[in-house]
Structure formats: structure tokens, C-alpha cells
Structure 1
Amino acid sequence: MNPPVPELQLPAPSLRAGHSAPLPRIAPGALVRTTLVSLPAEPGPAVAFRAALAELVALEKWLAALSPALGDALYASRAGHSEDFHREVVLPLRRAVHNGRDPRPALLHRLDGLPGRVPELRAWLAARGRRE
């Protein structure tokens, strides 16, 4: 048993001359009881949605992790194509990858053999296709 806390004790009114009543005390803690109710099973569409959302998050993380290597690989591919192709296709693609944006569809149609020469681009395009 804990000793009484002096700050919490009140002077006791006297019942009779020479006798005093017991001092009131405040409990040092509280007991809280709860009952856990089992949750109902998750419905099928919610399970499918959560799985699709988890896959989307994983794909987005993977695309973000691949972006720096893809930017470097696109820069290194400069020797394999013309200056015009690099300026009109590769540079806008590098900007889109760097900024985390989707490249314009017209740009993706002009890639020609670039995904064959840059494996990181091939993997990035495949992941984007799965994301869609």
C-alpha cells in the first residue's frame, strides 16, 4: 500500500472533540477495462484493392529507384544515335524520367531501337506498362 500523498490530503473535520475522521485519499492510478471484439473478415473487393495498391506502391518505388541509373544510361547512349535524335527524343525522355513524369505518347512512339540498346529503358518501360 502506498503512503498517503501530503499534498492531496485535506484536513479532516472533527466528529467530536478530540476525535477526527479518516483523511480522504486519491488513488495513484486508474484501471481501465476493455473488451476486444473480433473484426469481421475483409470483403473480397477490399482484399483485391489492397493487393493492387501494394503492387502499385512497389512499382512506384522501383521506378523511382531506377530513374538515376536510367538517366545515366540514356546519357551514355549518346554515341549510338544522331544528334537530332538525341535532342528531340532522348533529352525530353531524360527530363521526364528525372522529374518523375510520364513521357508524352508521341515521344514513346519515336524511340525506335533505343530500348534494345539501353536495358534500363526496357525495364523502365515494362514497369510502366505493368503500372498502367
Structure 2
Amino acid sequence: MAIEYEWRGDFDNASLNGLHADGFGSLVAQTDWRARLERHSLGWVCAWENDSLIGFVNVVRDGGAHAFILDTVVARHFRSRGVGAALVAVAAKEACAAKCEWLHVDFEEHLRSFYFDACGFRETPAGLIAL
């Protein structure tokens, strides 16, 4: 079956919490994703196979030219099939349509080739303060 990608897709919190647990190797949380996203996000992209949520990325915005991707996650059994790159491509297209000029991401070192090679981000100087 083909994987479908949906901007601002309709998901339930249990499905997204389960996907996060699977994708990040953590316990299933009880996060109210719907409330969080409606409050803070420009949008999000859901990847579906049949009726199963298999991928997700969140796009937040500064209110101006900058958008940021967060929480990119793909179910473990769907990795290395281009799902993550497709999620980011839809996120970039929709951020551009919303008149954003820049799409930012930060990531752990082991994801470097995914974001630079598969998704087309380029390296830039940046800074970070752990709070």
C-alpha cells in the first residue's frame, strides 16, 4: 500500500504518543499533542499507511520568515524507505507556501547525513544554551 502524507493531518493523541514511543525508544507518554500543536505550530505532517500513523514532523514558526522543524519521527519498521525525507519535503513546501523564507533544524550528530544528504539542509553556524 502507498504511504500518504497529509499537512495538518487529523490524528489522535494516543497514536502520536505511540509513534513517539516507538520512534524514540521511550515509554508511551500522555502528551496532549493536539492542544500543543494548535497553540504553537504552523502545521505538521502526518505519514499514513492504511489507517496507521507511521511518521510525523512538527513545523513551528516565529511569526516572520523563520520556521523550524521539530519531533521528526518515523516508526522503526518504516525507516530507510524515504518516509522521513518525504515528511520534511512536505514541511518545507508548506512553510514556503506560508511565506516563510528559512527552515531550520537542529539534530543529534547521528542524524547528520539524514538532514544534510537526504533532506538538503546545509550546514550553518549556530549556538545553543542548555536551560
Of Structure 1 and Structure 2, the greater strand share is in: 2
TM-score where L is the length of structure 2: 0.25
TM-score where L is the length of structure 1: 0.24
Of Structure 1 and Structure 2, the greater helix share is in: 1
State which structure, 1 or 2, has the greater radius of gyration over its C-alpha atoms.
Answer: 1
